[in-house]
């Protein structure tokens, strides 16, 4: 959900360490669920008026490098096979 991701990304910029920790946990859980996470990040990153578009773009870049790029095998996480 782009709205909850946007709120979590905004909270990662908070000076309150508790708010940041909660937001980071939310983002990790969202990535682990993989239900539209990449698409939601792309949507936020492509909206220049969105105050967290740069944060979304950086997370999307990291997601792509971890999930679809075998160039850096130290961090590569292959697809899950069920």
DSSP string, 38-78: HHHHHHHHT-TTSTTHHHHHHHHHHHHHHHH--SSTTT--P
Q: What's the pTM?
A: 0.72
Residues 6+ apart with CB under 8 A from 19: 11
DSSP three-state, residue 81: coil
Q: 30 and 8 in contact (C-beta within 8 Å)?
A: yes
The mean pLDDT of the chain is 82
- Six-digit token string for 37: 């996470």
pLDDT the model gives residue 22: 95
**2-37 pLDDT, tens per residue?**
888 889 999 998 999 999 999 999 999 988 886 788
Res 79 pLDDT > 70: no
């Amino acid at each position: 959900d782009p709205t909850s991701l946007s709120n979590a990304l905004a909270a990662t910029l908070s000076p309150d360490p508790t708010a940041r920790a909660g937001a980071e946990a939310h983002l990790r859980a969202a990535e682990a669920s993989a239900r539209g996470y990449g698409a939601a990040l792309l949507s936020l990153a492509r909206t220049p008026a969105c105050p967290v578009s740069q944060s979304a773009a950086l997370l999307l870049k990291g997601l792509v490098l971890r999930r679809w790029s075998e160039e850096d095998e130290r961090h590569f996480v292959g697809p899950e096979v069920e």
